[in-house]
């Protein structure tokens, strides 16, 4: 987990933990704030290269935008929480679609019936599975509406040209 440095220290955001042998990590001022945020760069060449890269970014983008840009790149990709089980979600949606095709008049009760079929020995899991199926269906319909809205923005002639078979190669 990262440590937060206030903007006055130059970092102003979460940083990854430092190498364990960095003595500057534990230096604090009288308010308990780090005296100088430790760097994750190891050699003087790396520090010089990073400084030059930042100066070029400041020249082209301006200092605030350069700081934001480089801070975003320095962060490691973080995935909070448990990641979805895509295969199981796909199976749930397929089962839902099949049940809807078979019984078109009772669509609202399909997620609960599917959840009961999946967990006959554990009725405590039924509400969670039902909610999961409903959320998956809702997310899928939201994505479909977004795609339809994106296609509506383009004139029909552009779409016809893009799908024509006689393209220049």
DSSP calls for the chain: --EE--GGGT--SEEPPPPTT-GGGG-B-TTS-BSSPPPS--SHHHHHHHHHHHHHHHHHH-HHHHHHHHHHHHSPP---SPPP-HHHHHHHHHHHHHHHHH-SS-GGGHHHHHHHHH-SS-GGGHHHHHHHHHHHHHHHHHHHHHHHHHHHHS-HHHHHHHT-S----
CA–CA dist 113, 90 (Å, integer): 18
Domain contains 22? yes
- 151: containing domain: 86-162
More confident residue, 151 or 102: 102
For residue 151, what pLDDT band results from cuts at 50, 70 and 90?
confident
- Of 74, 96, 130, at which residue does a domain stop? 74
- Rounded to the nearest integer, the mean pLDDT of the chain is 76
User: Among 50, 74, 98, which residue terminates a domain?
Assistant: 74
The count of domains in the chain is: 2
Interval 19-74: pLDDT, tens = 556 666 667 777 777 666 555 666 777 777 878 888 888 888 888 888 887 776 66
Q: What is the pLDDT of residue 5?
A: 46
Domain co-membership, 90 together with 158? yes
Has residue 24 been placed in a domain? yes
| % of residues, the chain, pLDDT over 90 | 26
Return the number of other C-beta atoms located less than 10 Å from residue 94's C-beta: 10
My answer on whether 153 and 104 are in the same domain is: yes
Residues 46 and 94 in one domain: no
Residue 67 and residue 91 in one domain? no
The count of other CB atoms within 10 Å of the CB of residue 25 is 16
Enter the pTM of the model: 0.46
Q: What is the pLDDT of residue 47?
A: 74
């Amino acid at each position: 987990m990262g440590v937060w440095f206030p903007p006055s220290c130059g970092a102003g955001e979460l940083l990854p933990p430092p190498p364990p042998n960095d003595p500057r990590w534990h230096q604090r001022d009288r308010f308990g704030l780090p005296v100088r945020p430790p760097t994750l760069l190891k050699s003087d060449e790396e520090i010089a290269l990073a400084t030059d890269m930042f100066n070029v970014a400041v020249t082209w983008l301006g200092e605030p935008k350069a700081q934001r840009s480089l801070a975003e790149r320095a962060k490691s990709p973080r995935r909070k929480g448990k990641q979805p089980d895509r295969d199981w979600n796909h199976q749930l949606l397929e089962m839902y679609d099949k049940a809807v095709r078979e019984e078109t008049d009772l669509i609202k009760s399909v997620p609960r019936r599917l959840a009961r079929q999946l967990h006959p020995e554990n009725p405590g899991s039924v509400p969670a599975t039902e909610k999961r199926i409903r959320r998956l269906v809702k997310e899928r319909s939201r994505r479909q509406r977004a795609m339809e809205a994106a296609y509506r923005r383009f004139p029909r002639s552009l779409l016809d040209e893009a799908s024509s078979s006689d393209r220049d190669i």
